[in-house]
Structure 1
Amino acid sequence: MTTIAPSQGALAGSRRAGKPKRTAVLDRAYPGWFLLPGAAIFAVFFMLPTFASFYFAFTRWTLFDVKFIGFDNFVQFFRDPQLTKAFVNTLIYGATTSISKVVIGLLLGVMLTSGIFARGYLRAIIFFPVLVSTIGVGITFKALLDPFNGVVNTALASIGITGPGWLTDPTLVLYTLIGIDVWKGVGLATLIYMAGLVAIPSDYYEAARIDGATGFDAFWNITLPLVRPATTTVVILSLIGGLRSFDLIWATTNGGPGFSSDVMASVIFKQYQAGFYGLSTAGNVVLFLVVTAVVLPLFVWMNRRQADL
């Protein structure tokens, strides 16, 4: 009589069937245990402060006293005469820095993934500003762009050009700050684009060359569509950073001259400095809702377009 040995699958199935039900449940839950430390940190350092902010936004509070006052903080916040100017500045700052980082980052990414001479050295130079402290960048540019003793205007004066008040002219200061922000942050956008560009198979470009496509045709029809995930990442990160920007602006101009470079975050900080803690907390909630209202629909729309490719 011949015997047939059970297959490996049958043995595995019998072993699983023989396990106690509780052990099987624990085995299935085991990978989830690794999420617990990260989830705990996220809950303590993000979720808890967020919910606390929503509560304290409806109170007049100090370190020793809390009094519930309803929507009074929000009413007073929206009556702030600086708010309209700061809100417009915030939108201009966020949109302009985001678009600039996308365009410049993509062009630099294409250049630095080509066979350009000394590209490793150029990559280091472009990415270096990302590593520098934002406060340090603000203080440095404040000195460089001083209208009287700054290096930039001194250099312009040496060739007969009168330099403008980069940080003192109300019509120019916001765009100067945008330029500084782009200079500091474009290295990260370039790095993200470089990662997306090197992931594109070279076969696509070879096929395009065989079909007689020009360099621009290949860029428009191959590169742009296939780096759309990188574009989504750069847009969302840059827009969130731009709408929440504070440290660079505060270190460089303190929101001045006047209120010309104030953004929502700097207005909120001024209220906090004045001791209006509940009012500044309400402002933070408003800023959180504004960023969410701008970024979330854009993120969903860009992901849908990416899925349609």
Structure 2
Amino acid sequence: MMAMSSSATASNAPLTKRQRTSPYPTWFFLPAAIIYGVLFLFPTFSSIYFSLTRWTLFDSTFIGLDNFAQFFREPFLIQGVINTIIFALVTCTLKVVFGLGLAVLLTSDIRMRALLRSIVFFPVLVSAVGVGIAFTAMMHPTRGIINIALDLVGISGPGWLTNPALAIYSVALVEVWRGVGLATVIFIAGIMSIPQDYYEAARIDGASAWERFCYITLPLSRPATVTVIILSFIHGLRNFELVWAMTRGGPGFASDVLASVIYKQYQAGFYGLSTAGNVVLFVLIALMAIPLYIYLNRREGHQ
């Protein structure tokens, strides 16, 4: 037995050495690294360079930090930043709440569960521009189906997109309707990974449905919750399509977000200025999302 063991050890030693010096891990990594460099690193560093220039399609002139100085002097920049943060917080919070609620419902023993899951996820597949156009018509103050339905029950519907105080929140609610399906799918995956033995033991001990949710589902689906929070928050910070399709930043500048401010500069032909705005948006997202990610994962590690 000792001879067999020593021979097995001797035969394994060269294999371990070959694995350590094998070229396959490097070659497998290279395609992903090339794609990442071409699609992310190169555009990122190019944007940083062009943000320091006054450029057109054919030439560029280096001007240093002038674009950033001019960008921070934009009269409605502060309003855009505030709206961006409001939009991100509202959409992130509601996606987590409704996504978790729908996931609990759609993992319970209900009829047509698979069909309901498909219905909930369907809005994610629809173009943001198409959703924005449809809801713009539905939220029309006089001819929109939402206010017509409210009038039938004696409620005077507001100007969802024409009231400066409501416009950004109205767009945020539409984004929640469109994006909650993805959050629900992530939560469903997290809940279905929880061993059923925990629920069976809790039922035997007489735990109610609410207690099972609070002490089993909620803490053990934390990884899914962290994922939904990070993805929803980043998407909310960089959202542009839905805001532009529904309000174009209006009425006035009431629903402008940082991305729509940047796009308006690009429309006006200030390419270097809009590129500087993109760099500012990238830095803002990094400064807010990375500490949030570290904090949430640190809390998860402590638990």
Q: Specify if TM > 0.5.
A: yes
Give the match's secondary structure for 1:117: coil
Deviations 1:19-46 (A, max 9, x none): 9xxx947852312311211111110011
Matched residues in 1 for 2:297 and 2:269: separation?
42
Alpha-carbon deviation of 1:148?
Answer: 2.4
Alpha-carbon deviation of 1:162?
Answer: 2.5
Alpha-carbon deviation of 1:299?
Answer: 0.3
Given candidates 137, 147, 164, the residue that maps to 1:143 is 137
Q: CA RMSD in A?
A: 2.1
For residue 214 of structure 2, what is the amino acid of its counterpart? W
Equivalence for 1:127:
121
Alpha-carbon deviation of 1:48?
Answer: 0.2
Give the match's secondary structure for 1:60: strand
Across the two proteins, how many residue pairs are aligned to each other? 303
Deviations 1:156-187 (A, max 9, x none): 33444332111111111111101000000000
Equivalence for 1:272:
266
Equivalence for 2:26:
32
1:13 paired with 2:10, answer yes
Distance 1:143 1:204, change over 3 A: same
Distance 1:113 1:11, change over 3 A: closer
Give the match's secondary structure for 2:284: helix
1:167 paired with 2:161, answer yes
Alpha-carbon deviation of 1:12?
Answer: 7.3
Matched residues in 2 for 1:304 and 1:88: separation?
28
Alpha-carbon deviation of 1:17?
Answer: 4.5
Distance 1:159 1:53, change over 3 A: same
Equivalence for 1:243:
237
Give the match's secondary structure for 1:307: helix
Given candidates 60, 76, 84, the residue that maps to 1:90 is 84
For residue 247 of structure 1, what is the amino acid of its counterpart? E
Give the match's secondary structure for 1:221: helix
Given candidates 160, 181, 186, the residue that maps to 1:187 is 181
Given candidates 37, 46, 65, the residue that maps to 1:43 is 37
Equivalence for 1:152:
146
Distance 1:24 1:118, change over 3 A: closer
Matched residues in 2 for 1:213 and 1:188: separation?
30
Matched residues in 1 for 2:198 and 2:50: separation?
56
Distance 1:64 1:24, change over 3 A: same
Matched residues in 1 for 2:15 and 2:212: separation?
59
Matched residues in 1 for 2:15 and 2:231: separation?
50
Equivalence for 1:287:
281
Give the match's secondary structure for 1:137: helix
Percent identical across equivalent pairs? 55
